[in-house]
C-alpha cells in the first residue's frame, strides 16, 4: 500500500519503519526536518514541507495514497491534515494521533478521522488488560460508524467457558474477530471452543459493550458501578 506519514518525530519515524518492514511504500512529510535527517529512515521517500498547506499535499500526490497517518505531536496539525486528506484528496483511510486526551472528542469523521489513536487510552487499556479478567476493555475507537474494538479475558466462571463459539449469543451489532490463546491468534470458527483464560477480541457498538460483558461474565459489575466505586 501507499502510505503517507505526517510528522518525522520519534513516533512518525517508528511508524514509518514498521510499515516499510511490512512491505509498504511510505512517504514521510515533515516541515522541520533537515535534508541530512532523512537518513534516519532511508527506505522512505521524504518531502520537506508544511502538510497543512494544500500545495505541499498536491506536491506529494496525496490523492494516490491509500492511507494517511497523522503522527505529529500537535493535535491541530493532525486534525487539519486528516480533514484535507479526506475532503480535498479523497484518501480512503486516515489515522490520527491524539496527544491531549481533552481533544479526543474532536477526532471524528467530521474532521476526516477514521481511526483516532490516543496514547493515554492505549496505556490504560493495556493496564486494564493485564489486571482485569471478565471485564470488557476498550482498545480502539473507530470513529466512522462508532464501532469499538474491545477485549475480554474469559473467566473460569463464564457459562460459555468450554462451549462452542457458535453457541455464544452475541449482541446484534457485535462480531467476534479473534481468539488469543497461548501466544497464538485463532480464527473464530463456529465449532471452535472458547476456554477460560482466552483473550477474545470483538468489534461492537459502544451501546452493546455492557450486554457483551454480562453475557460472557454474568458476575461482572457494570462499568458504571466500577467507575463509581473508583
Q: Please report, for the chain, the start and end positions of each structural domain, with discontinuous segments joined by +.
A: 2-117, 132-229
pTM of the model: 0.61
Q: Is the CB of residue 101 less than 8 Å from the CB of residue 121?
A: yes
In sequence order, what are the beta bridge partners of 4? 27, 68
Pair type for strands 25-30 and 45-48: parallel
d(CA 45, CA 43) in angstroms, rounded, equals 7
**Confidence label for 85 from pLDDT (cuts 50, 70 and 90):** very high
Give me the pLDDT at residue 205, please: 87
Give me the pLDDT at residue 122, please: 58
135 pLDDT exceeds 60? yes
Task: Output 230 or 183, whichever has higher pLDDT.
Answer: 183
Mean pLDDT of the chain, nearest integer: 85
Query: Cell triple for residue 127?
Result: 493496564
Task: Output 153 or 229, whichever has higher pLDDT.
Answer: 153
157 pLDDT exceeds 50? yes
d(CA 111, CA 123) in angstroms, rounded, equals 24
User: For residue range 7-52, what is the model confidence (pLDDT) as tens digits?
Assistant: 998 889 888 988 998 889 999 999 988 877 788 899 999 999 999 9
User: For residue range 53-79, what is the model confidence (pLDDT) as tens digits?
Assistant: 999 999 999 999 999 999 999 999 999
- Tell me the fold of 2-117: Rossmann fold (3.40.50)
- Tell me the fold of 132-229: Alpha-Beta Plaits (3.30.70)
What number of other Cβ atoms are within 10 A of residue 106's Cβ?
Answer: 17
Task: Output 145 or 111, whichever has higher pLDDT.
Answer: 111
Pair type for strands 115-118 and 67-70: unpaired
Give me the pLDDT at residue 169, please: 93
User: For residue range 178-193, what is the model confidence (pLDDT) as tens digits?
Assistant: 888 887 888 888 898 9
Give me the pLDDT at residue 230, please: 44
225 pLDDT exceeds 50? no
Amino acid at each position: 500500500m501507499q502510505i503517507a506519514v505526517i510528522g518525522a518525530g520519534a513516533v512518525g519515524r517508528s511508524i514509518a519503519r514498521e510499515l516499510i518492514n511490512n512491505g509498504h511504500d511510505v512517504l514521510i512529510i515533515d516541515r522541520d526536518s533537515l535534508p541530512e535527517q532523512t537518513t534516519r529512515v532511508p527506505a522512505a521517500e521524504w518531502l520537506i514541507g508544511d502538510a497543512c498547506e494544500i500545495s505541499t499535499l498536491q506536491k506529494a500526490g496525496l490523492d494516490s495514497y491509500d492511507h494517511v497517518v497523522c503522527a505529529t505531536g500537535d493535535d491541530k496539525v493532525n486534525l487539519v491534515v486528516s480533514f484535507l486528506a479526506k475532503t480535498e484528496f479523497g484518501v480512503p483511510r486516515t489515522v490520527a494521533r491524539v496527544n491531549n486526551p481533552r481533544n479526543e472528542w474532536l477526532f471524528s469523521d467530521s474532521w476526516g478521522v477514521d481511526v483516532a489513536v490516543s496514547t493515554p487510552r492505549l496505556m490504560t487499556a493495556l493496564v486494564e488488560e493485564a489486571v482485569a479478567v471478565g471485564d470488557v476493555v476498550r482498545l480502539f475507537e473507530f470513529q466512522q460508524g462508532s464501532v469499538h474494538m474491545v477485549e475480554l479475558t474469559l473467566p473460569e466462571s463464564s457459562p460459555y467457558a468450554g462451549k462452542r463459539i457458535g453457541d455464544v449469543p452475541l449482541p446484534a451489532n457485535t462480531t467476534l474477530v479473534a481468539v488469543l490463546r497461548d501466544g497464538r491468534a485463532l480464527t473464530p470458527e463456529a465449532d471452535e471452543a472458547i476456554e477460560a483464560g482466552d483473550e477474545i477480541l470483538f468489534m461492537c457498538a459502544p451501546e452493546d459493550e455492557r450486554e457483551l460483558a454480562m453475557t460472557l461474565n454474568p458476575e461482572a459489575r457494570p462499568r458504571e458501578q466500577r467507575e463509581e466505586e473508583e
